[in-house]
Structure 1
Amino acid sequence: MLGISTTAAKKLIGHALELRHRLPRLWAQVHAGRVPAWRARLVAETTIHNVPALTPEAAGWIDAQVAAVAGKVGTAQLDRLVAEAIKRHDLSVAPRPDFEAGEDHEDFEADQYLNHDARHVTFDTSHVHYDGVMRMDAELDLADAYDLDAAIAHGAATLKALGSSAPLGARRAAALGDLARTQTALDLRTQGVSVAPDDDGLPAAREVVLHVHLDADTVGEDTVFGPTARLENGQRLALLDQVSAWCASSRTKVTIRPVLDLNAELTTDTYVVPDRLREQVVQRDRTCVFPWCTRPARACDLDHIEPYDHHAAAEGRPQPGPTATSNLAPLCRGHHRLKTHTAWRYEHLRPGAFEWISPHGHHYLRDRDGTAALDPPPPDLPRPRRP
Structure 2
Amino acid sequence: MLITDPRGEPVELDELDGDASLSVLADLKIQGRAVDREKLRVVHHWCVLHPATRESGVATFDPSHLPGVLYAQESLGGEGCPPVAAFTPEPLATTLGVSQHTIRQLLADTLDLHHRLPRCWKRVEALEVDVWKARRVAQLTHPLSQAAAAQVDAALAPVLHSCSVAAIERAVAAAVAAHHPELVAEREKKGKDAWDVTLAHDTASEFADTSYLDVTGDTLDLSAFYDRIGQIAADLADAGDEDPLGARKAKALGVLARQGIDGAEADLLSLIGTGDRQPAARPARTRKPKTHLYLHLSLLELLGLGADDDLVCGEAEKLGPVLLEVIRDWVGHSDSTITPVLDLDRSWSVDGHDVPATMREQVILRDRHCVFPYCHTDARSCDLDHIGPYVPLDEGGAPGQTNPENLAPLCRRHHRCKTSGRWRYRRRPDDGSYEWSGSYGRSYLVTPFGTLDLHTN
TM-score tier, shorter chain, comes to 0.3 to 0.5
